[in-house]
Amino acid sequence: MSFFDNLKDIYRKVSEVESAIYHNKQDYLEVYERNIQLEKEIEERTKELNLANKRMLTLQHIWDMMNASRPLQSVLETIVNNIQGELGYLHCNIIKKCEDEKGTYLTVLAQSNDDSIKRVDKLIKGPIQARKLIYSKDSVYAKAEEVRQILLTTDIGETLKSVIPEVPDETIEEVVEGSPSKSIITVPLFTRNTHFGWFNVFSSRKELTEGETDFLTIFAQQIEMAITIADLFEEVKSQAVSDSLTGLYNRRYFEEYLKKEVRRALRQKQPFSIIGLDLDHLKEINDKYGHAYGDLAIKTVANVLKKNARSIDTAARMGGEEFNVILPGVESEGAMVAAERMRKALEEEKLDTIGNITASIGVATFLEHSDNIEDILELTDQAMYQSKRNGRNQVTLAKPISETSWQEIAINTFTDILSRHNIPINPEISEELKSKLKNTQNEIPKEVLYSVADILTQTYNPLHHKGAIKSKVLLAVSLAKRFDLPKDDIDNLRIAMLLYDIGNLMLPQEILQKTTPLTEEERSHIKEHPIIAAREILQPISYIQDIIPIIEHHHENWDGSGYPSKMSKDEIPMTSQIILIVDAYFALTEPRAYRAELTPKQALEVIKQDAGKKWNNALVQEFISLIDHDI
């Protein structure tokens, strides 16, 4: 090959190399440019993911706080500080729409703690959160509420002026000019389909992106959920301690508070008094005017107590027409003055249709009349009842407990029964019960009696609910008071309620716990238990002879179809009638071997069906009224 041919060949190869290099260079440039583009996209996506992550974390914080049952104010303050700090907004707040006698106004419920708001507070000479803000129908807030949408406004000065018109224009201008905020994003808040207020975000941007709108919508929903949960929690909490009719505390709260007051009084050696109040003639009001007017009378008593009690006093509706007031640090003399003030204030109330109403009131003082709170409650009850027996509409100071109280009689009776060994009961259980009865000085006598009666009942009825005896006694006593029974009759009823079923101890267990229908012979055995209780077990005990007829006739029916004596109507002692209806109700609401327990409402329906047959119509009405108050 000639020199020129070699040169051409070399040139060709060089050209091929140059061409390859050129094309590779283009490829490299394209790859490089694509890499740069990808890096930019990755950077943008990373920013978006970081923002999304911050938003998710913020939402998670809200959810965690809601699950932690923190107070609403604390939750809302944390919310606004989280979104302000994590998402770069300049300031955030939650404004609530409120009503008073002058109309609608706004209040800042929570706000982020930042330099922006500190500067505004300084310029307007006072914290905006402490102000009552104006609600204008032309404001962005009213418009957002109306359309139920997120709105953005760049007119920050006008928005501020609409809620604080008293601030001079030059001050508003100074606020706006020195602020980095370019817009206010307003998000309306609704809870349970009712408008609550607004969530506001002060932004350094004039625009609102679609993604931001979506996030703020979700964020607002979480705020709404937090508010709803807090409202529901407060409702449930209020219902748990409050009486729905009067708004006063209920029995449950009263009893819990009383325990704390006893501890405080013993620790500080400082007495307190209890005022017990019973509305007079409620039954007559219900019968003559209807239960709506009876409720009006009860609510009137509650309003009088609220107006005349001190802020540190605790008033509660104990059930029906009975109320108690605890007066911390007040001795009997001061309590009598307070009770008379309440009595007089109630007497002076004039109600539509009914006219004037009155109440019978009793007073007892802890550490003065007794250092046993059960005795104090008993003494208050007795004094209140004495006011009623002496003509009503008066205040009576408690007297010392009589030498032989009903608790002592009941304790002696149980001890006597167990000591005679004439009932078939395990000797170990018998000795345990006698020991409990002997050592009542270390426990509340009534609680010991309820416990002993529960244990005895469970020996022949394993399905018996512990604590049911106490509930039966309290219900029976409340019912007896509605018929103004004398105190001695009520004390006898208490003892009878503890003993009326003791005859079941003598019946065969296979009959009492039988799961199939009873035969006629077995029914005859069951019907013997009142006679067994009255004559075989209780007759030998001389000091309870007044109790025996109550127990003997507690299965007599109003229409004469009961047993053992076929008594009817007013021949039947009222105390026996009360035991029958209370016993029937608890029997229906307890499980039995042959059936499941009924709900309280189902049990009342069964009782209603036998009104006028098994029991007195008036008794049924009062009983239903008592139970309805507690369910």
**226 touches 76 (CB < 8 A):** yes
What 3-state DSSP class applies to 622? helix
Phi, psi dihedral angles at 149 (to 5 degrees): -135, 160
First-to-last alpha carbon distance for the chain, in angstroms, is 119
- Catalytic residue of the set 145, 321, 322, 552: 321
Query: CA angle, corner 123, sides to 122 and 124, nearest 5?
Result: 95
**433 touches 455 (CB < 8 A):** yes
| Alpha-helical regions (H) of 320-390 | 332-347, 373-389
Give the DSSP H or E segment for 317.
strand 314-319
Contacts of residue 624, defined as CB under 8 A and 6 or more positions apart, other chains included, come to 604, 607, 608
Residue 576's identity, in one-letter code, is S
Angle between helices 445-460 and 373-389 (to 10 degrees): 90
* Residue 16 DSSP symbol: H
Which class for 177: exposed (0-12), middle (13-18), buried (19 or more C-beta within 10 A)?
exposed
Per 3-state DSSP, what percentage of the chain is helix, strand, and coil (rounded to 5)? 60, 15, 25
My answer on whether omega of the bond before 564 falls inside 30° of 0, hence cis, is yes
User: Token pair of 283, please?
Assistant: 């039954």
Cα distance between residue 461 and residue 455, in whole Å:
10
Scored b (16 or more CB within 10 A) or e, 569-584 reads: eeebbbbbbbbbbbbb
Is 368 tagged catalytic?
no
User: Token pair of 13, please?
Assistant: 């190869």
Cα distance between residue 82 and residue 84, in whole Å:
5
Phi, psi dihedral angles at 184 (to 5 degrees): -120, 125
Ramachandran region of residue 242, left (φ > 0), alpha (ψ -120 to 50) or beta?
Answer: beta
Residues in the chain: 631
Other beta carbons within 10 Å of 3? 7
Phi, psi dihedral angles at 186 (to 5 degrees): -110, 120
User: Token pair of 270, please?
Assistant: 């400082």
**Residues assigned a catalytic role:** 321
